[in-house]
Homo-oligomer: A and B are copies of this chain.
Amino acid sequence: MNLSEHASKALSQALVRSGMRSTRQREQVFQVLLNRRDHPTADEVYARTRMEMPTISLATVYNCLETLVECGLVRQVNWEREPSRYCPNLAPHAHFHCVETGRVYDIDLPSDIMKSLTGVLPEGFDAETVELSFRGKGKCPPSG
C-alpha cells in the first residue's frame, strides 16, 4: 500500500515548508504511521518499515519520526517513562492509556473543553501546547 496522492502531497509540502527534502525513507515511515493508527513506538515503526524497506536503519527511523514531528504532521506522545509513541492524528485530542493492555486510545476533545482548559491558566501564562492524558482501564481489553 502506497502513500495516497493526498498524503504524499501533504508530506512533501510540509517538508518543503520546513526547508527539508522528501525522501523514500520519510515517505515510508509516514506511510507506516498512517496505515495503522495504533500509536507505535520507534521500535515498532522500525519493524514495520523494514517489511517494505529492509535496509532502513533504526537511526533513520528516529530521524524520520523527528522530522515528521518537526514539520507538524505527526504528534509525539510521551507517557510516564515509557518509550515515545507516534500518532498522525492532528485533531486536538487526549490520550487514554489502558493499564491492562498498554494500548493507547485517542479521545476527541470538544473545542469548548479545550477553551475551558486554557482558561485555568493565571494571568501571564501563555500555553503553546496542551497535553491531556488519562490512565485507567479502557474499553474491552480482549479484542481490538
Contacts and interface: CB of A to CB of B under 8 A. Distances in A.
Contacts of A113: 116-117, 120
Chain A contact residues: helix, strand, loop or mixed: mixed
Interface stretch (A8-16, A28-36, A50-58, A124-132): A124-132
Q: How large is the interface on A (under 10, 10 to 19, 20 to 34, 35 or more residues)?
A: 35 or more
A124 B139 CA distance: 5
Nearest to A132: B132
B122 A107 contact: yes
Given A81-B78, A120-B94, A131-B131, A136 B125 contact: yes
A5 interface: no
Interface of A: 78-81, 84, 94, 96, 99, 105, 107-110, 113, 116-118, 120-122, 124-140
